[in-house]
Amino acid sequence: MELNYERGGEQKAIYSNSDVIFTNCPLCEKDEYEQIYIERGALGIVRCKKCSLIYVNPRLKNPEHVYWGDAQKYFKEARLIFEGKALHHRDKNYEEDLKLIFKYKPSGKFLDVGTNMGFFLKSAKNWNVWDLCGVEPSPSLSDMARKYFQLNIRTSFLEEAEFEDESFDVITLTDVFEHISDPGKMLRDIRRIMKQDGVLFIKVPNGLFNLFKLNMAKRMGKLKDYDLFDSYEHVVHYSHKTLVKILEKNGFRTLDVTIGRPIQLPVWHKYVGHFYLYPSPLCLDFKRQIGRSLLYHFSKIEFYLKWKEIGALAPNIITIASKSP
């Protein structure tokens, strides 16, 4: 597979054995797994035989470095959004997320972990109800969030950010937790800085949906065209069960689980040779956009048929959790 268009970030089309390391299961820490698939030459998608977690093994040594890209390139991806002239393709998703957070915590200190360029916090700022801050390890991305959206962002990994104990009412991981190679450690760090009655919001892609897409691609003989697991950056693929399990193991109780609308990825790069973050119109990508919407509606039916367990058709999993007593 060729990356034949330009975008910010450091991802490679093919990785070799020197780019990767083997790891134990991030949930149960065992080292017994079955292989499901291999992406980009050297990244293994595996399932733990003990706890069923799907994770990437071997994975990139530093998957977060994919976000250490050049600020100029990132700026080019999103210039019109920074200038207030275009929407971000995830804005509708963010509004849906913020509605749910507001239902549980309509005010207070709000920390977004893995802020990227600040698009989620920019949406939260429009609500005018929370005291917002973010933490983002990428120097170029966090600079842009400060510069263009005037957000309060610390350039740091969460574990090194030195936030005070029990200081936040809301902590969010929006499309971030799947990037974290030691998720248990991150949850324990979050538990320390979250107030006793605080809430944790997590949104991740649904690992079972990726398996479903893999099986469909195999049946249709289209396997080579797909980068199904985005395993150069997504190192864990949670299901409803494994997400609840890792939360419980690290001192959280799930209050709510739901399915978010699908993210309609833009396809500008196919037409203009450059990746842009603005929504692309339905006519440029109608098959996929309609397909994603249909599956989303089916996944809601599946959810109720399975007594509120998220199945294989859901594009993502959203949870709200509190500290367990």
- Binders of Zn ion among residues 111 to 170 (CB under 5 A) are none
**Which C-beta is closer to Zn ion: that of 36 or that of 263?**
36
Q: Is the dihedral of CA 240, 243, 248, 251 positive or negative?
A: negative
Binders of Zn ion in range 37-76 (CB under 5 A): 48, 50-51, 53
Query: What six digits make up the tokens of 50?
Result: 């003990």
What's the full length of the chain, in residues? 325
* Residue 75 contacts residue 146 (beta carbons within 8 Å): no
Of residues 20, 27, 46, 78, which one binds Zn ion by CB under 5 A? 27
Q: Cα–Cα distance between 279 and 104 in angstroms, integer?
A: 29
In this complex, which beta carbon is closest to Zn ion, that of residue 27 or of residue 295?
27
Of 284, 265, 286, 289, the closest CA to residue 276 belongs to: 265
235: contact with Zn ion by CB under 5 A: no
DSSP string, 190-252: HHHHEEEEEEEEEEEE-HHHHHHHHHHHHHTT-GGG---S-TTT--EE--HHHHHHHHHHTTE
Between 48 and 193, CB nearer to Zn ion: 48
How far apart (Å, rounded) are the C-alpha atoms in residues 66 and 60?
10
If the CB atoms of residues 50 and 297 are measured against Zn ion, the closer one turns out to be: 50
Beta bridge partners of 38: 44
Cβ at position 55, least distance to Zn ion in Å: 8
Nearest distance in Å: CB 28, Zn ion: 3
Q: Which one of the spans 22-30, 162-170, 205-213, 218-226 is the region binding Zn ion (CB under 5 A)? A: 22-30
CB atoms within 10 A of CB 156: 14
CB of 32 to Zn ion, least distance (A): 8
Q: 153 or 236: whose CB is closer to Zn ion?
A: 236
Least spacing, CB of residue 51 vs Zn ion, in Å: 3
Q: Of residues 20, 28, 180, 321, which one binds Zn ion by CB under 5 A?
A: 28
Q: Footprint of Zn ion on this chain (CB under 5 A)?
A: 25, 27-28, 48, 50-51, 53
